[in-house]
Chain A
Amino acid sequence: DGGITQSPKYLFRKEGQNVTLSCEQNLNHDAMYWYRQDPGQGLRLIYYSQIVNDFQKGDIAEGYSVSREKKESFPLTVTSAQKNPTAFYLCASSTIQGARNQPQHFGDGTRLSIL
């Protein structure tokens, strides 16, 4: 079945540590996205990529980094500079067709907590 796989499901970070969240898709989608979800807030965009080897900052990119070396993969690194990293992280992907981007499809998320 085609879909988006995020791993791990749960992740714990120590102070001063960088951690990397994995996102893989087999939907052949061009665009991929990372969101952060906090209680009582809408999904907030961290980074997005519309093509391999290119990505753009979203609304809350500080303290995060990404890479897009393959079409299928878009890993997110939460660096020690992110002072409030505890959240539910969601990866999404979509096709891009002319003036109407197709809806984004999501993985099942990674919950990151601080030790």
Chain B
Amino acid sequence: EDQVTQSPEALRLQEGESSSLNCSYTVSGLRGLFWYRQDPGKGPEFLFTLYSAGEEKEKERLKATLTKKESFLHITAPKPEDSATYLCAVQALLDSGGYQKVTFGTGTKLQVIP
């Protein structure tokens, strides 16, 4: 069974204090790994897709990296507006119905203090 584990569950940072969020996964045939940001009471907002080990993507203060077993979301010099829950999801090989199942982690709740 595909599994996605995110750590830590919650992270509190001072403004400007860089850190990383972890997403470890076990999946049969990774087709893609996605990072999302979710604000309270809102739907997840797509951030990045990573397809293969060694790949990196950047957007403003966020940088996502991928290895064969995990992905990291690095946050450089965070600001209070970066406070949100960050979700990781992995997409696996086609099932018998032709669907590429997506499995979500439970997220890391990030709070950035001014």
Q: Report which A residues bind B (CB closer than 8 A).
A: 4, 6, 35, 40-43, 45, 48, 50, 56, 90, 92, 99-109, 111
Q: Report which B residues bind A (CB closer than 8 A).
A: 4, 31-32, 34, 36, 41-46, 49, 51, 87, 89, 91, 97-107
Are B105 and A42 in contact (CB-based, < 8 A)? yes
Please count the residue pairs between chain A and chain B whose beta carbons lie under 8 angstroms apart in the complex. 57
Are B99 and A108 in contact (CB-based, < 8 A)? no
Dominant secondary structure at the A interface: strand
A26, B97: Cα distance in complex, Å: 25
Chain A residues with CB below 8 A from B4, complex form: 42
Chain B residues with CB below 8 A from A105, complex form: 46
The smallest C-beta distance from A102 to any residue of chain B, in angstroms, reads: 8
Are B106 and A41 in contact (CB-based, < 8 A)? yes
